Each structure stands twice: as structure tokens, then as C-alpha cells.
Amino acid sequence: MNTHPFYAILFSVYLFKVNIFMNISPPPITSKDVAKLAGVSQSTVSRVFISGSSVAEKTKKKVFEAAKTLNYRPNAFARSLTTSESKLIGLVFPDADYPIHMKTLQLISSELQKIGYSAVLIPWMVNEQEQHSIPNIFQYRVDGVIAASATLNKSLYEECEEFNIPIVQFARVVEGTKGSHVISDNYAAGQIAANHFYHCGVKSAAYLTGNVPTFTNDERNAGFSSEFEDLTGQKTCVIEANYDYLDSLEMIRTFLSENKNTDGIFCATDNLAMALMDIARLEFGLRIPEDIQVIGFDNVPQTEWLNYQLTTFKQDFKRLARESVKIVIDHITKKETSLVKLMIPATLIERKTTQYKR
């Protein structure tokens, strides 16, 4: 029996109200629905939403109009099953609460959006051995990964290699890992810090770092110690604390109480530099820069605060982000297999924790 269109419409409205009343969501619109309305095959709809696919403009227009009418949004995950690409890049930033990392996440996301990719922040955790790790990288169906942490263990890089997922290390290089990286020129930064201390009249210098070994940190320390010894004939010492502000305080106290002649300390991060300044002034009564001079690294916003005014290094995060995205996308789209190791100069920002004797 044929149903009059008017009654069919009334019945549809009735079902819609029943669904609302019973809190039943209408079924999601699929590519099959779009294909039916546009009068094309489902595979044609799929091809229309794949960038670069050869589909006639007339057909594209019909599909887009149908999609707009139905408020259809292509499913990125389903599309990835067809194209073998998800257009997703995983970002691994375990210490994302560090001020510069939030800015960096925005920079990388912006660079990815320019070329049709999206960023997904992959969570991290601490395992039973108190090492930072992440869940199975493959479950995110990312096309590539950009990782920016010295605290991750090697399993992330091994897993990416196993699943053939390109990975680029951003601003940090984890010891014992293979892969492309984009970092600041840490050795040169160490040399600049030593040279600055020399011209500031520092006689006895130290390098304050965290307790996680990284290539970038070793290079910074090597450049610093080598240059300072060449200039002054004096060796530098290393203070191994913790990258966390609170956890670093005890080691800083111990060092300052046992090394009263040290008059210049180069710090691996601004967090460490600010921890050092707080302990030096509040607990030891030291004047900065008259009694002890301090250089940090990263130029986080707090370094400009009146209480710190920290001399520090500014990394070119905009370029670091741009180059990292370019490398990982080249690995994906051009199947580029050669490793890229790129170093970007860092700039010393001179403030009031050093006194340059001109």
C-alpha cells in the first residue's frame, strides 16, 4: 500500500519527536547517504574527499551540495583506511606545562594546518621503572610523530621504527636513538655562555643541569666547559640536580654551601636558573650579579619578571617548528629515508643577572 507523502512526513516528524523524548540520537549521516542523494557511488564520494583524487568537477559539485544538505562530515579515520593516511601527526610533549612548550604546540599545529594535516597530542605516563612512556603509538593511526622531550625512554623511537612511522625529535635528542632531529646549536650556545662569563669577569664557573642524559645537554656543557677553559685556564664543574624546580632545590643548596668561590653558573633551563637565584638570594644572602652571575636557557616568560630579569638564551622555536614539520612530512609524502640533523642558532638575551665589563 502506497503512503501519501504528507502522511510520510507526519510519521517522520512523529519519529523525530519520539527520538528526542526517548533521548535516542538519529543515526549519523554516512557517505552512503551522500552518495544516494547525489546519485553517485559510495566510492565516488570517498574519492571526492581525498585530496588530489581525479573526480570531474561536475561530480564534485553534486557531492559537495549533497554533503552540505545532509550536514555530512567525512570521517578522517574511515578515510585513513582507504588512503593509508590519517593526515594526523602525533605530538609527544610530556612536560607540556613548561611555558615554552604550550607555545611550541601552537606553532607546530599551525604549520601542520597550512598543509592539510592535524595535530594530536599523545598522552604520556610514568611506568613502574619511573621512566616516561606513552601508550601504543600505533593505536593513534598517526602518519608521523614529533617528539620534544628528553625524559622519554627509547621505546617510543623503537616502536615508531617497528611500525615504520617517521619520527622527528624537536629541540631535544634522546641518547641512543636514531632518527631525524631539529635542535638548537647547543655547542655554540655553550661557547657563547662561556665567552659572556669571561667578559663579565667570572673566575670560577659551573654548569647546572638535570639528571636525564641527552645529546643536546651534553653538547651545551661541552661547548661551555671547553671554551671557558680555553679562555681562563680554569675547568668548570657540573651540578647534576633535577629539572623540576622543587626537586632541584636540595642539590643547589648543597652545591652553594660547598662551593663558595663559584661566581658564575650556566643553567640547562630557566627553571633551574630561577631555582638557583631563589636559593642563592633567600637562603645564602648572595647578590646577583655582584656575588654570583647566572645564565639560563629557553627565555620563558618568567625570565622577564622584575624579580628575575634573567640573562638567557632564546631558541628560534618558530623555525624549529617549521623545519620539524617539513622533515616529518617529507618522510611521509616523499618516502624520504635519509636522516636529517638540523641545528638552528640560539640567541643570548642579556639582562641583569650578568654584568658585562665593556
pLDDT of residue 86: 79
Helix, strand, coil proportions of the chain in percent (round to 5)?
45, 15, 40
Q: Is residue 298 part of a domain?
A: yes
**Residue 351 placed within a domain:** no
Q: Give the mean pLDDT of the chain.
A: 84
157 is a domain residue: yes
Distance CA 255, CA 257 (A): 5
Q: DSSP string covering 7-32, please?
A: HHHHHHHHHHHHHHHTTPPPPPP-HH
Q: What is the mean pLDDT of each run of 10 residues along the chain (358 residues)?
A: 49 50 63 89 80 79 86 60 72 69 87 92 64 61 84 73 85 80 96 98 96 86 98 96 93 96 96 97 97 96 96 96 95 84 96 88
In sequence order, the 6+-apart residues with CB closer than 8 A to the CB of 229 are 235, 236
Which residues form the domain of 136? 88-184+317-345
Q: How far is CA 73 from the centre of its chain?
A: 29
Are 134 and 213 members of one domain? no
Q: State the total domains in the chain.
A: 3
> What SS3 state is found at 343?
strand
Q: Which of 83, 101, 122 is the last residue of a domain?
A: 83
Q: Is 346 helix (H, G, I), strand (E, B) or coil?
A: coil
Positive/negative CA dihedral, 192, 195, 201, 206 = positive
Domain co-membership, 238 together with 278: yes
The pLDDT score that the predictor gives to residue 323 is 96
Do 222 and 119 lie in one domain? The reply is no
165/266 same-domain check:
no
Is 33 in the same domain as 126? no
* Residue 94 neighbours by CB under 8 Å, 6+ apart: 124, 132, 149, 151, 152
Query: Is 191 in the same domain as 309?
Result: yes
Query: Is 31 inside any structural domain?
Result: yes
pLDDT for 283? 97
Which CATH number belongs to the domain containing residue 300 in this structure? 3.40.50.2300
pLDDT in tens, 266-281: 999 999 999 999 999 9
309 with 194, same domain: the answer is yes
Does residue 191 share a domain with residue 291? Answer: yes
Give the dihedral sign, CA 215/220/224/230. Answer: positive
The packing angle between helices 317-333 and 99-114, to 10°, is 40
Q: What is the CA radius of gyration of the chain?
A: 28
Same domain, 112 and 165: yes
Q: What is the pLDDT of residue 253?
A: 97
